[in-house]
Amino acid sequence: MASTSDFRNGLVIDMKNGLWSIVDFQHVKPGKGPAFVRTKLKNVQTGKVIEETFRAGEKVDDVRLERRDYQFLYVDGDFLTFMSLETYEQVSLPKDTLGDLPMFVKESENVSMLLRDNVPLTVEPPQTVDLKVADTDPGLKGDTAQGGTKPATMETGLVVLVPLFIEIGEILKIDTRTKKYLGRV
């Protein structure tokens, strides 16, 4: 059990049918009435962000989560298989529970898995990935970096807006948090 005085960014608490990570918090002591703590919480599994207010001194259930490195091995139907880099054990997770992850990772790439009591909760890709352009409209002579953008489909199926000079076969650096083009590799 943790109290509101133990709140810190990154603390994971169990409430409202899920695990929530504290993104931001503020202790408020109004001139009239009791003190309280205003928080911004992010759901560990879905990424949904909510705001919640706690009375000062209120007790909450804190949770210990482990972050471990895994390697993405292969896709097997509706499941993605990962291997622990420490124990070499394999874990298969349903594709529909992983969100956009399959759009960012290729076979043999490393990912970060969040575990609670050795049960996988969520899988996070690296912050940037290098992906090959599978399909895009041809660039025209005279197109510059300051010009417009066009959609490009990457080898994993991800569609990203890229500058007009990008062509099929080029390898691009993509930010996995914003799904934006960062540059050529």
Average pLDDT over residues 88-113: 88
The domain boundary, picked from 47, 63, 79, lies at: 63
Average pLDDT of every residue of the chain: 88
- 149 in the same domain as 162: yes
- 59 in the same domain as 7: yes
- 167 in the same domain as 117: no
Instruction: Tell me the pLDDT band of 155, cut-offs 50, 70 and 90.
Output: very high
Instruction: Tell me the pLDDT band of 143, cut-offs 50, 70 and 90.
Output: low
Beta strands in the chain (DSSP E): 2-3, 12-15, 18-28, 36-43, 49-55, 59-63, 66-76, 79-84, 90-94, 110-116, 119-124, 128-136, 149-154, 159-163, 171-175, 180-184
- 132 in the same domain as 111: no
Burial class (CB within 10 angstroms; exposed 0-12, middle 13-18, buried 19+) of 60 = buried
pLDDT score recorded for residue 26: 93
- 103 in the same domain as 59: no
Residue whose token pair is 């205003």: 38
Average pLDDT over residues 45-68: 88
CATH number at residue 157: 2.40.50.140
The domain boundary, picked from 17, 48, 63, lies at: 63
pLDDT tens-digit profile of 2-20? 888 889 888 889 987 788 9
Closest CA to 94 of 79, 109, 83: 79
- Whether the per-residue pLDDT at 140 is higher than 70: the answer is no
Q: The whole model's pTM is what?
A: 0.74
- 71 in the same domain as 28: no
pLDDT tens-digit profile of 84-93? 999 999 999 9
Percentage above 90 pLDDT, the chain? 43
- Whether the per-residue pLDDT at 164 is higher than 80: the answer is yes
- 70 in the same domain as 42: no
The DSSP bridge partners found for residue 37 are 27, 54
pLDDT score recorded for residue 146: 60
- 70 in the same domain as 59: no
- 75 in the same domain as 58: no
Instruction: Tell me the pLDDT band of 149, cut-offs 50, 70 and 90.
Output: confident
Q: Regarding predicted confidence, which is higher, 40 or 121?
A: 40
- 161 in the same domain as 180: yes
- Residues 41 and 50: beta-carbon distance below 8 Å: yes
pLDDT score recorded for residue 141: 61
Residue range(s) defining the domain that contains residue 159:
128-184
